[in-house]
Structure 1
Amino acid sequence: MFKKPLSNLKTSAPLRSSDRRKLRQRVIAAYNVSPEIGDVLVPEGLLSQKFTTNMNEQGVAYWSPDGDPLWFSLGKGADELIPTVYTLWKKYDLLPCITTPASVIPVLVGGADLMIPGVVQIPSSQTVVPPQLVAIAKYTSDSPTTRGPPLAIGVLAADLDKLKAGGKGKAVHLLHSWKDHLFAIGSKADPPGVVEIQETGERNEGKEGKTAETDVVEQDKPGAEVQEAEGTEEGNAGPPVESTPGHSVQQRRPAPQLSKEEVSTILRNAVLQAIHSTLKSLPTSSFPIPAGTFYSSHILPHRPAFVRRLVPETDNPPTASGDDGGTSEYPLIDIKHSTYKSLAAFLKILDKQGILTIKDMKPEPLVMSVSASHAEVLSHTPYVSLRDVQLKGEKREKREEEERARVHEMDIKELWKPHAASGSERFFSEGGFDSSAMYTHAELKATVIKYITDHQLTNAYDQSYVNVSQDEVLLSTLARKNESGESLEFLKREEVVQRLSEKMQNWYEIRAEGRDPLLRKGQLKPISVVAKTRQGRRANTLISGFESFLLEAEEMAEELRRICAGATGVSPLPGKPVRSEVLVQGKQTKAVVEFLLSRGVPKKWIETADLTGKK
């Protein structure tokens, strides 16, 4: 909806008090929240502004005094108020939530709809039905009671039973997401940390590793059915870590136990850390904050990432996802395992001590302000928090993405040339096309369509079929052994293109930065990266088929020796003296793929396999 900048933006105007109250009442009624929460979600000083989307759809947006879009409506005279992610970060349970793997989030941010294979968890309430508004958040495997913050809003496109059963098709039609052009008009704030949820929802079994990306991309491929993508979400809890050269297998231990007093101390320090690092710089309009949101967005992310001082038996510190490398799990540090018993009681104690101020409301208190000048806040010694680790990881990932973006990917074209011996040259000559040229797949498809149109071969009952038997040139070109006009009466357009390409010579062209273009006869095959077990139980990674991509064996072996910190070797392939195979000690598939990508090889031209016999 907001993939492109808004147009026809009118001058923003402050809402009159009476209009603001009406808007607040609409939110309270539509989303079943208390009047106090209504004041948080529809604050004083709200502004309204009319706009037009790139699809020429008119709408109205409502902005906070700080310039963040909080609500919008679409369509002339539309009554439905749709929250933005800025609003959902104030009250994360405002909408029913669907979770999806981390790998799907960039696809959604790019504007794609969420597909059913990309759904991990669904709302447990059967009252959620299409076309109801839902939020989309990142699935986290840390705990069944946590998930990422809402990052997108859309309209449910399928019944929950269908989502639970899996399959294909759209799950949510996207309306607005983090980082889209509506979001970018605001403060561009970073999303809060993981949020605590009371009800985890039902699991879409077997889908936590599937992504929506392939469903979006594959639909554009000619004649291709929608397929599910492979892969699993990073950070997903699994079996004990597999052994690699230089690393022994370690079994996962139970989470170290902390006393209730230790948990209470950690949570209290997390509040001081949050005030010291982020809360003190929030504008006053960010308050009040509902207690649940304050706990999930500010207390939990500021828990310490390392707890070895409290728990000596913890050998390795946890990562941002709570995984400590396979030796132990992050201890349970939450309000349930503290001496406070409830979040409301904890906040009341902090209020009495002057660290923050609350307003006791139903169904939950509101945090009205924090005291950055409190003596304990000023004397607090900062530590590395889970939020710090997460931000560091995100920065590292962003840096790696930027480095990959700087690599100029090879321009690879598959080409087909008419061939007299196979009969395809006649088709091009009779059709008035250049029989000496080389054609890309798109050009070949356009040529076939023109021939079919010129000779009126489209089937009258189903235009996706071609009357092959009605044209002697086309029939003789496409017919395979033992096929005749009777057995080859109709063919789909895509099959016509496929059969024609089979009767032509294969060529390919590769253009790489700083290298002369390479044009060769033959069919281009992907680079093979295979992990195999040799000499007993020793695993090695074998790379072959790289010469076509302007890569040299000796140079590759030397680079991989440095990257993988292990032995490498080069040997000729049996029966192919001009072709070599590079061997890397250990299971180094991921490192090899990263190396090939850094050399400009497109990912679609890399095939990987694990033949080590792992169960």
Structure 2
Amino acid sequence: MFAKPFRVKSNTAIKGSDRRKLRADVSAAFPALSADHVSSLVPNKEELNVVKVYTHKGDAVTVYVLHRNPLFFEAEKQIYPTVYTLWQFPDLLPAFATWPPVVQKLAGGADLMLPGVVVPPQGLPEVKQGDCCAITVVRNRAPVAVGTATMSTAEMRGVGMKGRGISVLHTYMDTLWAFGDKSGPPSISAPDSEELATEEQSEEGEEASSGADGDLTTDTCCPDLQELSLNPGEPEQEEDRGHEDDGTEEEEEQEDKSPQEQMDALLLHCFLHALKCKVKKSELPLLTSTFLRNHMFSCCPNGKQLDIKKSSYKKLSKFLQSMQKQHHLVEIKELNKGVESIVDVDWKHPELRSFCPPEDSVSEEAPTEGSGDRDRPYHPPEISALYVVSARLEPLFQDSQKRKGAVLLPGEVRTVVTEYVKKNELVDEQNKNYVNINPTLCDCLLEKSEYQEVDRLKWDDLFSRTMARMQQCYQLLFPGQEPIIKKGHIEPIDISVASRGSNKKVTLIKNLELYGIDPPAVATALQHRVQASTVLTPLPGSKDRVLVQIQGNQVQQVGSLLLDQYQLPRRYIQGLDKGQKPGKKK
């Protein structure tokens, strides 16, 4: 939850009534705390601040801060302690132990996998699914992470300690911890029996898994494992003990370079990657701006951001001139006044032929379904209109065993009405395009003013009146998931352009979540495409939706992303006509 920086919405001193409510909530959530302990955490007179923040995924979280350190955070009406609180009360939550190298992975956003859990001789703590849990490291009871159990202890044993065990919310070394005084965990010794067990397990080479970021295995866990430092400033100690997964020779070389040299190297990497894997000969001549936006940005490795201004070149034109004059990789010409294009590429150049693109390189052109399934490609949902049987129409649907509240597809509604008409022999003998109205149809479909005037209806009118008197809803069907049914009409994705200070334009996008699209993923993709800043803000009047804002009139780019990459039907996108017209600058 706090693996990436969050945005602070407000920071205010807590009111007296809120202080009392917080004290009651803490006592109810953590009954192990005595009244004196609760009073020390939520004192009467000392200044206690309430900080409302939005995480990078758009979640609204309330943080309670005392003496500069966050003590509790509240998300979805559930209160959790921070590591600062757990260092004062290490036995407040049931704790699961793991190996020190795993902590770095947890701080990066990974969950704790069951193969990485060290089982003490007394067994695992008894928890239920959804219970708040702490995570510690072997030989030290000071918690380093807080999360919720994905299954009960019995289920953990039943699956053979495989799979995801703890869904991590907050860790030592994440941005919430950095919001405090950044102190390190204290050293709280474990019981002798637990130390003996971890010694035996370390000699056997216990495996530690870190989940989403890949498995991390300690091939030879040495007896000095308890001496591994958790301080972020001392990574060498882990490397000296053979944990090569956390650092490579390339990373060490990168650290020796200045930030400008690192950006130059990244720029060259993305340039070669784009030429070798993205650009086709048929695309030439290719605008340099298009080459940067659509190809180079998509070749930037995960976790890094391409910024030409931080390189020694400062401008794209200077970089490309260097690639032309010094490396002889491309030929640049100004085909139109002030507009440069790549007109030729030396595909047989040794530097280009010898370049090996990374196997795990992921383009921003591969959108994903959500934060939990980053590796699964996005597929648009199948959207179906549905109709709910109302109390007024219940007599019409009784023969088909459809009662009030039954949900039907349009075709099913037509079938039920047709069967009713035929069963009751209501088809007009003179003109089979008409249906005679009996008392049931009169009560269900006619207005009071029509009772004496209308004695028959056309088939189409019969169907349309029936559906008009039913409550409408819609069904979303994502591949491999259970159908989702919601009331009303589905709102289209809304794209609009607004003016900010000095008549600057911004593009606003909302309702992405309704179609299973992750707003942060769209913001990142657009940021790469147009090289403009994006902001995620909660949508006013909605608890679970986020508004994506990007600088400039980017309607065409947003439309291209949603239509081409996310493959959404045009009818579900509103505002595509607000794009900047060719030849006009707004």
TM-score range, shorter chain: 0.3 to 0.5
If each structure's helix is expressed as a fraction of its own residues, which one has the higher value?
A: 2
Q: Using structure 2 for the length normalisation, give the TM-score.
A: 0.38
